[in-house]
A and B are shown apart, each in its own frame.
Chain A
Amino acid sequence: MMMNDMPQAVQAQEPTQVSGRRIGDVVLDLQNISLSFGGVKALTNISFDVREHEIRSIIGPNGAGKSSMLNVINGVYHPQEGRILFRGEERRRMEPHMAAAQGIARTFQNIALFKGMSVLDNIMTGRNLKMKCGLLAHALYWGRAQKEEIAHRVKVEEVIDFLEIQDIRKTPVGALPYGLQKRVELGRALAAEPNLLLLDEPMAGMNVEEKQDMCRFILDVNDQFGTTIVLIEHDMGVVMDISDRVVVLDYGKKIGDGVPDEVRANEDVIRAYLGTSH
């Protein structure tokens, strides 16, 4: 929030870790967010912002409110207090599908794929917002509807190629191992061509090799498509490696915010992490 007032010159000094990537203005500004469930406070007075093209990580011990934060951002939960500014405009009472329409896509901590569908169809759902044909056209599957299906299939195949999952495109997602399911879920989010991508523990439960692949994909997405990424991740090595800025939550409160080195040196953060079994 404070960053908004800073002159251009200061912004230009923002650290950019990957060459060629330009971190831009604030796209998402969360101000004094509080969220509670029937008296239980999940988030208390949290403020932070996300800048265009950056990788912004949210870390914190289990139950710190990280996932709740993502749910607030894309409209699954509605905070009782606080303001959310997306591209400078304040949002009120936003439903998840409206957030999607504004270009926010996400993955889930527990895989939320459509189990009864193939990999291809799952990723195709990511194109949903961009498909314009109506019911009748679909029923006829003639001309426009078919053209549209094919045009979007082309886009989806690019995602499949990008994520290197060609050999499983027609497999039902339920039959895939965990690591691949995570990849498919990322694919579904990518197919929406989001400008803000929320990733909820994309590397949880993966082996080292799968983690490396996923890391590479995240960096590539950020780099090639300029997608802004908000990332929740437990693996500190990964977070510190690939994040531009990190915000730290503990018991629903913000206890640290800054570039990885700052966060690493932050006393509160160290205490929070030593206090728990990490």
Chain B
Amino acid sequence: MSDRNGQAAHPAALDTFPRLLMHHAAVRPARPAMREKEFGIWQTYSWAEVARNVRAIACGLAALGFKRGDRLAIIGDNRPRLYWSVTACQCLGGIPVMLYQDAVAPEMAYVLQDAEIRFAVVEDQEQVDKMLEIHPEVPFLEHVIYDDPRGLRHYSQPMLMGLDELQEMGGIHDRNHTDFLDGEIDKGAGDDISVMLYTSGTTGKPKGVCQTHGAFIAAATGAMQVDGLTDREDILSYLPMAWVGDHLFSFAQAMVAGFTINCPESGDTVMTDLREIGPTYYFAPPRVFENLLTQVMIRMEDANALKRKLFHRFLDVARRCGADILDGKPVSAGDRFQYWLGNLLVYGPLKNVLGMSRIRVAYTAGAAIGPDLFRFYRSIGVNLKQFYGQTETCAYVCLQPDGAIKFDSVGKPAPFVEVKLADNGEILVKGPMLLKAYYKRPDATAESINAEGYFMTGDAGYFDADGHLKIIDRAKDVGKLKDGSMFAPNYIENKLKFFQHIKEAVAFGSGREAVTAFINIDLEAVGNWAERRGLPYSGYTDLASQPAVYELIRDCVEKVNADLAADPKMSGSQVRRFLILHKELDADDGELTRTRKVRRNFIAERYAVLIDALFEGRPTQHIETVVKYEDGREGRISADLRIEDVKTFAPQAAKHAA
């Protein structure tokens, strides 16, 4: 074994994942490559064991007739053997295709057809059942290999096979053809496609993004350099394997850096497992951080008064100086002492309970993260950072460097990545991590990569004075006001929505003199606020029309304006006037998409009178709207909406005013 590994360990040859694996197996054979909480303890697999298992799976697949270039579907939770199957498939020059495990059978059928899957490795009975259900539509599916045999004893379909059996078969194959697998690994090249990740795409059917070994290795290497990752990191793998984020963090980076990935016991135990492992490197989408913070606040509600006081007292200290201390900025000795005390009494224990004590670097990406949320984690000493990227760029374009965190930017271009802005503000990127192609979609490939080899992200953004990239909106939504200043509705709306009292916002202004906005208040938050003040209200419409609520919202909008004024590119698009809608925007009425995104054009048509009133400067406007109730009946809501002006700030003076 070591001889074979010795071959693969040649430094120059570390350009594919199988070679990286063999390299680790030779260099750090006893270090843990993977842990999985199973049967009550963290079962540990060393790099040598992983290599051995991957060999067996690869040889087993080969024995079943898996050929170079074949696609292997992999479906299931984050289980070690599914990760091994990824590498095993790569060893044979195949292309692993991960599917979202909670997708229903018909959704899976599309991907299996598109990728012409012959082989699938799935987790358990649930997935096997789905495969059997869609088999008639996917006639070329020949083998379904399952990890967990539970409940599958009486399945007699010849296409089914257990991973145990496959590994056994592979072991025999490996013994009989000792050079076979090394030969296959040798045939691999950095430019080969290492994985296919399907993007949902806002329109049309999902597309398979083909990424090469080189692309993911480059992305992983760059991230490692930025954060100084070593082989001692621990990461918890709990996000879907089919997501580019998991593939980068739990697969590519672990393979490149040689650190340990940890698989939780089950979906129910993620929080406990997180506490036990205490990862040093952590990645989660913003909603995870948001849910955690909500839970923290809810659980603290039940604490006794003294504890609550202590908690909030020290959170104030953290808010004041925590982030600066983390960034290594100068902080007064008094504050440092208070922070130290807070760390002892609040932040330290809190991080311990959340499983974040050992985190050196945590990342979030995938959606905009509110500055308060972001600041909270940083202030208690969790080095949370944002990055920016897409499936097509291996989730890797910009990273926030340590010590230079700006809450509203996604950081600087990562190593090896070249970022430039098109005339319309669209972000264009180039680098080794770009996709090779969309699978079987040369048209789409051509559309997304321009003549100079830049990938067109579809996002609009700009660099600030320090060279940090700010994402403002989808490029197609960005417009201009009459005076030519930039108008990015999403950017403004997101800023508004970060206030807890504002649930939805729709900004208008393209081609107009100024920006105006519709606001939906958050019934729960504002309702609470009203109750605390003893304001009676009878429902959403009533609450939304209260002068005090207008005051509250105007305050929020003014803060957003102040913020915008501080930004030279955005100072022109401050919100001049707003109104609070008399009803909540609703997907049933076609105002939102099912994923709760604003359908801008539909709203503009439906509420044309209101928009006119906003721009014409009328103080009130009557509106009558047809709404659909949950039981399908229709009804009408009418109201006289007040329209209010908002203070705007002069571009440069804004800093003083705010």
Contacts and interface: CB of A to CB of B under 8 A. Distances in A.
Q: Please say whether chains A and B are actual partners in one complex.
A: yes
B154 A18 contact: yes
Contacts of A160: 39-40
B295 interface: no
Interface string B269-295: 100100000000000000000000000
B40 A167 contact: no
A224 interface: yes
B2 interface: no
B368 to A, nearest CB: 33
Nearest to B269: A167
A98 B39 CA distance: 30
Which interface residue of A157, A167, A169 has the most chain B CB atoms within 10 A? A167
B504 interface: no
Contacts of B150: 162, 220
A167 B266 CA distance: 8
A223 B150 CA distance: 11
A157 B40 contact: yes
Contacts of A224: 153
Contact of A20 (B39, B40, B154, B265): B154
Nearest to A219: B151
A154 interface: yes
A177 to B, nearest CB: 14
A183 to B, nearest CB: 14
A161 B39 contact: yes
B153 A166 contact: no
B621 to A, nearest CB: 51
Interface in B581-624: none
Contact of A223 (B39, B40, B153, B266): B153
A18 B150 CA distance: 16
A247 to B, nearest CB: 27
Interface in B20-76: 38-40
A120 B266 CA distance: 18
A19 interface: yes
A166 B269 contact: yes
A211 interface: no
B39 A154 contact: yes
Contacts of B38: 161
A264 interface: no
B152 to A, nearest CB: 11
Interface in A98-157: 120, 153-154, 157
Contacts of A154: 39
Contacts of A120: 40
A20 B153 contact: yes
Given A154-B39, A158-B39, A161-B39, A166 B266 contact: yes
A20 B153 CA distance: 9
Contacts of B269: 166-167
Which interface residue of B38, B40, B150, B272 has the most chain A CB atoms within 10 A? B40
Contacts of B153: 20, 223-224
Nearest to A223: B153
Interface in A164-194: 164, 166-167, 169
Given A19-B154, A223-B153, A224-B153, A167 B272 contact: yes
Counting contact residues on chain B (CB < 8 A from A), the size range is 10 to 19
Contacts of B272: 167
B40 A166 contact: yes
Interface in A211-257: 220, 223-224
B423 interface: no
Interface string B554-565: 000000000000
A164 B265 CA distance: 11
A220 B154 contact: no
Interface in B149-188: 150-151, 153-154
A270 to B, nearest CB: 34
Contacts of B151: 220
Interface in B113-154: 150-151, 153-154
Given A153-B40, A158-B39, A161-B39, A166 B154 contact: no
Contacts of B631: none
A40 to B, nearest CB: 45
Nearest to B271: A167
B268 interface: yes
A161 B150 CA distance: 11
B150 to A, nearest CB: 8
A154 B266 CA distance: 18
A169 B41 CA distance: 11
Interface string B254-269: 0000000000011011
Nearest to A153: B40
B338 to A, nearest CB: 37
A221 to B, nearest CB: 12
Nearest to B41: A157
A154 B153 CA distance: 23
A195 B153 CA distance: 20
B40 A169 contact: yes
A224 B265 CA distance: 23
Nearest to A170: B40
Interface string B627-639: 0000000000000
B154 A167 contact: no
Interface in A11-55: 18-20
Which interface residue of A18, A161, A162, A220 has the most chain B CB atoms within 10 A? A161
A127 to B, nearest CB: 15
Nearest to A166: B265
Contacts of A161: 38-39
B123 to A, nearest CB: 14
Nearest to B38: A161
A161 B272 CA distance: 17
Contacts of A166: 40, 265-266, 268-269
Nearest to A162: B150
A46 B268 CA distance: 47
Contacts of A158: 39
B370 to A, nearest CB: 31
A157 B38 CA distance: 9
A161 B151 CA distance: 13
A192 to B, nearest CB: 19
A128 B268 CA distance: 30
Nearest to A155: B39
Interface of A: 18-20, 120, 153-154, 157-158, 160-162, 164, 166-167, 169, 220, 223-224
5 contacts: A19-B154, A20-B153, A158-B39, A166-B40, A223-B153
Given A120-B40, A162-B150, A166-B268, 13 more contacts: A18-B154, A153-B40, A157-B40, A158-B39, A160-B40, A161-B38, A166-B265, A166-B269, A167-B269, A167-B272, A220-B151, A223-B154, A224-B153
**Which 10 pairs between the two chains have the least Cβ-Cβ distance?**
A157-B39, A167-B268, A157-B40, A167-B269, A166-B265, A20-B154, A19-B154, A166-B266, A169-B40, A161-B39
